[in-house]
Structure formats: C-alpha cells, structure tokens
Structure 1
C-alpha cells in the first residue's frame, strides 16, 4: 500500500459554512491514515467572479492517504454531495467545495483531475491556509509556497477560527 501526502482546499458559503467545514474535516479523517490529518485556520474570503453571493469560509487540510488520485477525487466529490453540493454556476455559491490541490509531488493531467490544482498559485484563500500547515512546502514545480504569498494576499483574508 502506497501512502501519499495530499492537500485539499475546503470552502463553503451556504448553510452555515463553518459547520460545513467542521463536518467536512470529520469526513476527511476517514480518508486519512490515523493521526495524519492537519487543518489550517478558517479564513473568510470574498467570492471570485461576478456572482453576488455571501463571503466564503476557507481552509486547507493535509493528510496522508492510501487512496489513488481518482479514488480520492471520487471520495471528495461524494463528501460534497453528502453536504448538498449542487453545481449550478461557475464560481457560484456552494454548501461545500473540496479541491484536491496536491497529491504528493505528482503532476496529474487527466480529463477529471488536474494536479497541482490549476488556480492554486493565485488564490490567497488557498495559499495562506496551506502555509498554516505546510510553511516549508515546495510545490511540484520547485517553487516554495512561501515565495508565492504576498502581504496583500495575507491582508485579503480574515482569520475566523485558529485550528493550526
């Protein structure tokens, strides 16, 4: 059994977002090898795009899993569906969004899955929480995580709950 360190972004802005993230973290524990789950602080962020909607609550979880990449994707999507996720519009409001950011140091480009996650390098609501739990992380492109985070990115977010 091959075990791999993975990082998953969590986001929600409907139906009590903080509770949605708490419940998602509990579900992620079942995908993680015992004792390997770490979770960032929770942050409030402004929504992306032009859709009028509430602010998001975001976090990042890291854990070691024995699931293969597509198996993990399926498990993450099942958790989203259990939380009432409906995909109505791009960057629209959601009860829960779980994005596989990194799967070890692998580059994956399949029809259903791109890893590293395509937008992670530009998103403060991903990079700042990821740095909470993996401050010395180097991405598969050999770029240090810390080098991607600007003061402005840190200023965009409001820390809500400190779990780190």
Structure 2
C-alpha cells in the first residue's frame, strides 16, 4: 500500500531558555522524523507574549516561526512526534497560554478538517495570530489559510506587531532548512 503524501504547515514558538536555538533544534528533529520530507523553515520573528488576558509586555518575549513539510504520517502520529519533541525540550503543560520552552502547533494538514479531543485543524486561531501569519508570509507570499483566505490580507487586517530576527540562521530572511541551509 502506498501512503498518501500530505503538505503540512506547523507553527513554532518559545519564550523561555535559548528560544531560537530550541526552535531550530526542534525543527531539525522534526525534519528527521520517518515519514517527513521537504522540511522548509521560515525566518524567525520576535513578539510580545500573548496570554489569556491579552498581550503582556512584561512577560518574556516569544520567538516564532513556521515550517512547511510533506508527510506520509497520519495527523495524530505527526502530533505525537511533535509532542515528544516538545517534551524533550522541557515543555510543561500546566498553564494555558503560559510561558514555555517550546510550542509546536499543527496549523494545516493538507486540505483536511480535523476536530477531536486532541486535535483541531485548521488551527482555530491561526487567522488571528500575526506571529503565525507574518513568518508564513515571509516563507510563501501567496499563502492561503484554508477557510480564511489569503495570508497577506489576513495580516493586513489584524496588523503585524512581529519583529523579524536576523540571527545567523535567518540572515537575509530567506527560507531555510533546519540548521540554516538555504531552501
């Protein structure tokens, strides 16, 4: 039986520890998961922490990015791999929208709609998050968020409060594979 290859969009965030290195390490680990190919990471952006009460400029700032990949894994198998990597990087799930060493969200899984007790795809708040839309737009200027429209128009509507980073892996803001190699 031949497995179906599905395009995927993931979002990454961290506001504790060595944020950028943690995200890039997690991206390298995901790119090496059996059943994952064609992994391309966006430039990283810095943002104010978003809490249940709204933006919190006093909290440690987040670094965020997105990545595209192709996979033969089922959605929940990919989610399991993502959560194993989060845990390996010290992710603790005790406060909703709290500080974290690593957060990986499954934004899109092909054209599928998934809604169960573990997973909702497309991600229900991606269209409201400049820290997802801005790096995605840098990766793909023609991106479309299923059910919401063109990413450029969504970002224009909500505004962009992110600051692109220019670390070694993101020099020139060109899309990269994990580890900083040009895409």
Structure-1-length-normalised TM-score: 0.92
| CA–CA distance in structure 1, aligned partners of residues 114 and 104 of structure 2 | 17
Counterpart residue number, 1:4 = 6
In structure 2, C-alpha distance between the alignment counterparts of 1:95 and 1:126, rounded to whole Å: 17
2:164 counterpart SS class: strand
Structure 2 distance, partners of 1:121, 1:103, is 15
In the alignment, which of 135, 140, 149 is matched to residue 134 of structure 1? 140
- SS for the counterpart of 1:5 is strand
Conservation of the 8 A alpha-carbon contact between 1:69 and 1:103: yes
Candidates 21, 37, 55, aligned match of 1:19: 21
The reply on whether 1:157 has 2:178 as its aligned counterpart is no
Tell me how far apart the structure 1 counterparts of residues 127 and 134 of structure 2 sit (CA, whole Å).
10
Output the aligned Cα RMSD: 1.7
Give 1:151 deviation, angstroms: 7.4
Secondary structure of the structure 2 residue equivalent to 1:146: helix
2:48 is matched with 46
- Deviation digits for residues 39-98 of structure 1, max 9, x if unmatched? 111000011124652000000011001111111111100000000100121111000000
How far apart in 2 are the matches of 1:144 and 1:159? 21
Contact 1:106 1:140 in 2 (8 A): no
1:121 is aligned, of 96, 109, 127, to: 127
Gaps of 5+ in 2: 176-183
Aligned residues: 162
Structure 1 unaligned spans of 5+: none
1:110 deviation in Å? 1.2
Partner of 1:61: 67
Q: Normalising by the residue count of structure 2, what TM-score does the alignment of the two structures yield?
A: 0.82
SS of 1:48 mapped into structure 2: strand
